[in-house]
Structures are given as structure tokens and as C-alpha cells.
């Protein structure tokens, strides 16, 4: 049994709290608009699970620091995004703020509605701290939630982060009714793009072929349960981005991730053709049809990809 505090009472925070509770752990949820004070909520926790939107992670890390988080507390991050100011992943933000705490990433094909319905699923917990990995694995492993471990936290969270951009593109593809061939081509060609960014940011290649990479890419590109997919689908039907996000009423991280990714790709010269079309589409400078044409009209090239290619 562990004392677990989950930060964030959105769809994913609630599901992660319920999973830990069902396994017999002592669980409390903190949220920014809730009644409890952060310092009190984390004071006795063995494990703090952060499941808030990316836009709040850097500030939350600062608040936790002010709350004097114990250095023995395991910090688990379940957010899938990149910091707009620094391009850091959540685990990097926590690592920079809490150099002595064990940091664990939890990421995989985990659409919260299916998890809440107790459908079988698997995920990855990733850390360089083996004891912390075992502890978090024990807290979450159950008959319906299978937990694999990985030594590559950055790779695990980048898979979950970058696939959100692809899910927007696939939503467009389905919204325009481009067919199964186009969808298969898009998802497959997205993999070298994700790998190129991942390798640049220090991830291990094999992580992207596991649950937190390919697994999450497939789950999120499968259809209507994914909010990022629904962003693309809505754009393909001529809706404005603001309207789509209002209707969703919850976080679609791929929108912010696309902007951060394109800033980074421009600075570092990383070729990301799919993300670039998504970026133009989100900014409203091209139509969904023009985004497709932009991809199809690119120069012809071999399929094999150079992961260190630069523009
Ligand atoms: N819902 C899902 O199926 C899954 C979501 N995730 C990731 O988990 C993260 C949260 O997603 P959801 O819970 O689905 O979103 P949500 O929109 O349902 O909830 C977002 C939560 O973040 C909190 N939050 C937002 N801005 C904040 C700030 N500035 N400071 C403190 N808290 C803030 C909100 O109060 C809310 O509790 C995202 O990064 C998402 O990609 C990961 C796996 C599955
Ligand atoms: O990350 C997720 C599933 O693993 C959730 O995807 P969406 O944020 O697109 O709903």
C-alpha cells in the first residue's frame, strides 16, 4: 500500500486516482480549484502523480518546490506535452526542479474513457530509478491494467506527446474521407518524423516502437475517443479551431505541441513535413485540402529515413 496524491482532477487524473484506489492504495486528489492546499496534499505522500495539462506543469513544479516536497517522494508525470517557453518535457521540468527526487513517466495507449470502463489496457512506466519503477508498477498493476517498465523516460513521454500531432492529421484524413490507404501512409510516415525529433531530444529509438510510441499512436489515431483526432476531424469539416476546442471542453495537447514542435524544428532544421502541414492548418493559413496537397506534392524520395537529416 502506498500513499498517493494525484494532482489534477481532469479525465486522466480521475482515472489514475481510481486505478490506484481500486488497488488498495490510500489516494487523494488535489486540483487547483479544489478545497485542499497543495502543501498539505503532498506532505505525507509516497507518490505524487501529476496529471494536469502541459500549460500548468512548470508553474506546478514551482508550487511543489515552495511546498517543500520531500526528496524521497516519487514524482510520476502523466502529462503529454512540451513546455511552450523551454520545449522541455514534463519529466525534464520535474528533474530540473527536483534533482534528488525519483522521477517516473507513465505513458501509453490509455484513452481514459476505456480505462474508466475497466477495459483491458497496458502502459509503460519509465525511469532511471529502478526502485521507483517497481513501486509505481505495484501501485498501478491490476488484472485490467498491465504495467511494463522502461529505462527511457524521455522516449516514453515523447511518444505520447508527438503522436497527438499525428492524431490531428489523421482526424483530417478521416474527415476528408481520404480512405484507408491514405491513413496507413500517414501513420507510417509519421513514425520517422517522430523518431527524428525523439533522437534529437535524447530518446532511445526502440521506445518509439513500444506501447508509449506506436501503441499510443494507433490508439489515438483510431477515432472519436481521441480529442486530438477530433480537432483534425472538425477542421476537415470546416469548423473553426476555437469552436472545436470549446465543444471538446477538455485538453487537446496536440495543438500546443504542434506550435512548440515547429518552433524547435525551425530552430534546429529538423524535417517534420506532417507536423508542418498541421501547423499551417491550425494557424488557418491553408485549408485541409491544401494540407493534403502539400504532403503529396513533396519531392520524391526513398522510403528509408535518415534520422539525422536536416533541412
Ligand atoms: N484523457 C486521456 O485519455 C489521457 C490524457 N493524458 C494527458 O493527461 C493530461 C491531462 O489530460 P486530461 O485529464 O484528459 O485533461 P482535462 O482537460 O480533462 O483536465 C486537465 C486538468 O489539468 C488541470 N489544469 C489545467 N491547467 C492547469 C494549470 N495551469 N495549473 C494546474 N492545473 C491545471 C485542470 O484543472 C484539470 O484538472 C494531458 O497532458 C493529456 O494529454 C494522458 C493519457 C490519457
Ligand atoms: O493520450 C491519450 C490516449 O493515450 C488521449 O488522447 P487525446 O488527448 O487525444 O484524447
Residue 306's pLDDT is what?
Answer: 84
Same domain, 52 and 107: yes
User: Of the residues 151, 174, 189, which one is the last residue of a structural domain?
Assistant: 151
Last residue of a domain, one of 94, 125, 151: 151
Q: Residue 173: what pLDDT? A: 97
Domain-located, residue 305? no
The answer to whether residues 51 and 187 belong to one domain is: no
Q: What is the ipTM of this complex?
A: 0.99
Answer whether 228 contacts ligand 2 (Cβ < 6 A): yes
Catalytic residues: 163
Give the ligand with the smallest distance to the CA of 227.
Answer: 2
Query: What are the tens digits of pLDDT across the range 13-43?
Result: 999 999 999 999 999 999 999 999 999 999 9
Rounded to whole angstroms, the Cα distance separating 26 from 113 reads 23
Q: Is the pLDDT of residue 308 over 90?
A: no
User: What is the spatial distance between Cα 255 and Cα 28, in angstroms, rounded to a whole number?
Assistant: 30
Range of the domain at 93: 3-151
Instruction: Please report, rounded to a whole number, the percentage of residues in the chain having pLDDT higher than 70.
Output: 100
Average pLDDT of the chain? 97
Residue 220: its pLDDT value, please?
A: 96
Alpha-carbon Rg for the chain, nearest whole angstrom, is 19
Mutate which of 14, 90, 226 for ligand 2? The one with the most ligand atoms within 8 Å of its CB, which is 226
Together in a domain, 140 and 165 = no
Indicate if 84 and 201 belong to the same structural domain. Answer: no
Give the pLDDT band of residue 69 (cuts 50, 70, 90). very high
Give the ligand 2 atom nearest the CA of 253: 8
Ligand 1 lined by 256 (C-beta under 6 Å): no
> Same domain for 14 and 104?
yes
139 and 165 inside one domain: no
Q: Please check whether residue 53 lies inside any domain of the structure.
A: yes
Distance of CA 250 to the CA centre of its chain: 14
Q: Which residues are annotated as a binding site for NADPH?
A: 12, 32-33, 80, 112, 227, 253
Residue 207 phi/psi, 5-degree rounding, is -60, -35
Which residue, of 108, 131, 151, is where some domain finishes?
151
Number of domains in the chain: 2
Evaluate whether residue 17 is within a structural domain: yes
pLDDT over threshold 90, residue 223: no
Are residues 195 and 169 part of one domain?
Answer: yes
Do 71 and 176 belong together in one domain? no
User: CA of 31: how far to CAs of 7, 22, 34, 151, in Å?
Assistant: 6, 20, 5, 30
pLDDT of 180:
97
Q: What is the mean pLDDT of residues 208-223?
A: 96
Give me the mean pLDDT over the 193-203 stretch: 97
Residue 120's pLDDT band, with cuts at 50, 70 and 90, is very high
pLDDT of residue 14: 98
Amino acid at each position: 500500500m502506498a500513499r498517493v496524491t494525484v494532482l489534477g482532477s481532469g479525465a486522466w487524473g480521475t482515472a489514475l486516482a481510481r486505478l490506484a484506489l481500486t488497488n488498495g492504495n490510500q489516494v487523494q486528489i488535489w486540483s487547483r480549484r479544489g478545497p485542499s492546499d497543495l502543501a498539505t496534499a503532498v506532505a505525507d505522500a509516497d507518490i505524487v502523480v501529476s496529471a494536469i495539462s502541459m500549460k500548468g506543469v512548470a508553474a506546478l513544479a514551482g508550487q511543489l518546490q515552495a511546498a517543500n516536497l520531500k526528496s524521497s517522494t516519487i514524482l510520476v508525470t502523466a502529462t503529454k506535452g512540451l513546455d511552450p517557453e523551454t520545449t522541455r518535457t514534463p519529466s525534464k521540468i520535474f528533474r530540473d526542479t527536483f534533482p534528488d527526487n525519483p522521477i517516473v513517466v507513465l505513458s501509453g495507449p490509455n484513452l481514459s474513457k476505456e480505462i474508466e470502463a475497466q477495459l483491458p489496457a497496458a502502459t509503460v512506466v519509465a525511469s532511471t530509478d529502478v526502485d521507483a519503477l517497481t513501486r509505481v508498477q505495484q501501485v498501478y498493476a491490476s488484472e485490467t491494467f498491465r504495467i511494463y517498465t522502461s529505462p527511457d523516460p524521455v522516449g516514453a513521454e515523447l511518444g505520447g506527446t508527438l503522436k497527438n500531432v499525428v492524431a490531428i492529421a489523421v482526424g483530417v484524413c478521416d474527415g476528408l474521407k481520404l480512405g484507408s490507404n491514405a491513413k496507413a501512409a500517414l501513420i507510417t510516415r509519421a513514425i520517422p518524423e517522430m523518431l527524428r525529433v525523439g533522437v534529437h531530444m535524447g530518446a532511445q529509438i526502440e521506445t518509439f516502437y513500444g506501447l508509449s510510441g506506436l501503441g499510443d499512436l494507433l490508439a489515438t489515431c483510431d477515432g472519436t475517443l481521441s480529442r486530438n483526432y477530433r480537432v483534425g476531424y472538425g477542421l476537415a469539416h470546416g469548423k473553426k479551431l476555437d469552436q472545436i476546442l470549446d465543444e471538446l471542453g477538455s485538453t487537446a495537447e496536440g495543438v500546443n505541441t504542434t506550435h512548440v514542435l515547429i518552433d524547435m524544428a525551425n530552430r534546429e532544421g529538423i524535417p517534420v513535413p506532417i507536423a508542418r502541414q498541421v501547423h499551417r492548418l491550425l494557424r488557418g493559413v491553408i485549408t485541409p485540402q491544401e494540407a493534403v496537397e502539400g504532403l503529396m506534392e513533396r519531392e520524391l524520395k526513398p522510403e528509408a529515413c535518415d534520422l539525422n537529416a536536416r533541412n
